[in-house]
C-alpha cells in the first residue's frame, strides 16, 4: 500500500511557505543554487546567438524520441505489459464526473489543512489502489470539497497549454527569427500533431511498465498468501 506524503512536510520542508504576505521568509539555498546553475547554462546556450542553438536543437529534440523508443521496446517485452496497454486504450468516461481534489490547493489554506488533519484517519492518507488511480477517500465532513469536481478538466487544460507552449515569451522570441513569408499555419498544425502523437506514444511507454508492476504486485501477494496457507485468485473489474 502506497502512502501519501503528509502535506505539512511539503509545506514546511520543501516549499517553506511563510505565515503571510507580511513575512518574506528566508532563502532556500538548494533552490538558489539550482537557479544559479540554470541561468549559467542559459547564458552559455545563447551567448553566441540563436543560430548556434539551432544546431543543438537537432540533438535535444530527437534524442528524447530515441530514449522513448528504447523504453517502449523494453516495456512491451515485460510480462504483464498488455494489461497496462489495455487499460491505457480503454477509456472510462465516468471518471470525468467523479470529484477530484488536487492536494496542492489544500496546502495554502491553513484552516482547511487543520480541519483535514483533525478529521482524516490513517486510512484516508493512503493511496487507493483501485484501478491504479490515485484518489483520496473523504469523510462526510469533507464533502464540501466536491466543488473541485472540475479539477480533472482544469488539469487537462493546464497540461495542454503547457505542452503547446501557448503565449510563452521564449517561443514568441524564437518565432521572430522566421522568414517574413514563413507558413506559420502549416507549422502550427504540424506541431500540434507531433505534440499529441508524442504524448500518445509516451502513454504506451508508461503504461506498459505499469502493467508489469501490477502483475508483479499480484504475484508477490499470491506468494505471500500461499506461504500463509491462504489461496486467492485476483479478481479485476
Going by the annotation, the residues of the binding site are: 163, 195
Distance CA 76, CA 71 (A): 9
Contact (Cβ atoms closer than 8 angstroms) between residue 72 and residue 204: yes
For 99-120, give the DSSP string. Answer: ----HHHHTT-HHHHHHHHHH-
Is residue 170 within 8 Å of 50, Cβ to Cβ? no
All three cell numbers of 215, joined, read 502483475
126 forms beta bridges with 3
From 162, 149, 161, 169, select the one nearest 105 (Cα to Cα): 149
Residues of each annotated binding site for Na(+): 163, 195
Amino acid at each position: 500500500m502506497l502512502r501519501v506524503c503528509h502535506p505539512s512536510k511539503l509545506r514546511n520542508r520543501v516549499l517553506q511557505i511563510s505565515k503571510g504576505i507580511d513575512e518574506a521568509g528566508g532563502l532556500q539555498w538548494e533552490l538558489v543554487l539550482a537557479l544559479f546553475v540554470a541561468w549559467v547554462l542559459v547564458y552559455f546556450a545563447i551567448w553566441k546567438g540563436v543560430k548556434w542553438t539551432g544546431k543543438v536543437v537537432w540533438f535535444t529534440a530527437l534524442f528524447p524520441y530515441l530514449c522513448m523508443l528504447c523504453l517502449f521496446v523494453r516495456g512491451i517485452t515485460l510480462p504483464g505489459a498488455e494489461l497496462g496497454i489495455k487499460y491505457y486504450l480503454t477509456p472510462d468516461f465516468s471518471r470525468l464526473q467523479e470529484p477530484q481534489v488536487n492536494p496542492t490547493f489544500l496546502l495554502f489554506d491553513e484552516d482547511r489543512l487543520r480541519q483535514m488533519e483533525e478529521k482524516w484517519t490513517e486510512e484516508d492518507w493512503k493511496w487507493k489502489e483501485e484501478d491504479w488511480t490515485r484518489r483520496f477517500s473523504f469523510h462526510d465532513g469533507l464533502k464540501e470539497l466536491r466543488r473541485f469536481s472540475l479539477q480533472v478538466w482544469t488539469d487537462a487544460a493546464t497540461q495542454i497549454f503547457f505542452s503547446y507552449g501557448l503565449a510563452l515569451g521564449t517561443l514568441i522570441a524564437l518565432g521572430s527569427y522566421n522568414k517574413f513569408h514563413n507558413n506559420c499555419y502549416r507549422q502550427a498544425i504540424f506541431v500540434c500533431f507531433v505534440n499529441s502523437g508524442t504524448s500518445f506514444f509516451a502513454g504506451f511507454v508508461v503504461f506498459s511498465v505499469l502493467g508489469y508492476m501490477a502483475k508483479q504486485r499480484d504475484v508477490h501477494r499470491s506468494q505471500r498468501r500461499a506461504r500463509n496457507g491462504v489461496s486467492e485468485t485476483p479478481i479485476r473489474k
